[in-house]
Amino acid sequence: MPQDDDLARLHGAVPPRYGEVHVRNRGRLPHWEKEEGLYFITFHVADSLPKPVLIKIDERRRILETARQENAHLLPAQKEILAAYSRARIEEYIDSGAGSCPFADQRIAGMMAAALRFWEGKRYRLLAWCVMPNHVHVVVRLFPGHELAKVVKAWKNFSAKAANHALVQKSRFWQREYYDRLLRNSDELARAVRYTLENPAKAGLKNWPWVWGADSLPRTTASRQAPALV
């Protein structure tokens, strides 16, 4: 497990000292943002989750918010919804290969990797990333003056335009929302990196090339060099 001193040497990726944290509420999910924050981010292709599942996820969020606000006990039916549509269960479903899985096409996966690396060293520092067939995981540290929402929007816009052009389609490419976690210490960072790097093997993808981690970080399936971009 890396220590704070080790992490500080990773291209300036110092674990954040929690100061003022802003909560941005847009769409379905709240997003916690901090200047120069370290984040674990996940975003999904539009058809990786069908509409009925998205509705249940919304219902799960409302149940949790109401329970917190009113300090109420959950009914058995509500507990079933929480269990059936937990983040872990949803990730298992997506890893099974739901939807059209455009990133199974090496051309499209390469375009996504290019989008992630485009502003590397200028707006953020990438610590790990993984382009799965129907979703993307990124561990990243933002540089001063750059907002999480704008960075993710740039990734999604660039990759959506490139992918739709290559696939000769005009459909909505990404789900509107994304999931993010503000990483508070070295243990959380190590877990996020490990999850990202192990995701292809966990999903049964052998010799999957679209996964990368900084050399000094713990890694299992990532290669030392990022794959060539197409």
Alpha helices, DSSP H, located in 27-180: 51-70, 76-84, 87-95, 106-117, 148-167
Mean pLDDT across the chain: 76
Using DSSP's 3-state secondary structure scheme, residue 163 falls into helix
pLDDT confidence tier of residue 58, bands split at 50, 70 and 90: low
A 10 A CB-CB count for 209 gives 18
- Amino acid 49: pLDDT: 73
**Which residue has 């096409």 as its token pair?**
105
Which is higher by pLDDT, 185 or 131?
Answer: 131
Whether the predicted pLDDT of 93 surpasses 70: no
Q: Answer yes or no: are the C-beta atoms of 23 and 227 closer than 8 Å.
A: no
Q: Do both 54 and 112 map to the same domain?
A: no
Q: How far apart are CA 195 and CA 202, in angstroms?
A: 9
The type of residue at 189 is L
A 10 A CB-CB count for 153 gives 13
Q: Do both 31 and 74 map to the same domain?
A: no
Which is higher by pLDDT, 90 or 228?
Answer: 90
Q: Do both 55 and 137 map to the same domain?
A: no
Q: How far apart are CA 157 and CA 189, in angstroms?
A: 27
Range of the domain at 58: 50-97
End-to-end CA distance of the chain: 34
Q: Do both 108 and 10 map to the same domain?
A: yes
**pTM to 2 decimals?**
0.70
Identify the top-confidence range among 55-59, 97-101, 114-118, 187-191. 114-118
Q: Do both 38 and 56 map to the same domain?
A: no
- Amino acid 227: pLDDT: 43
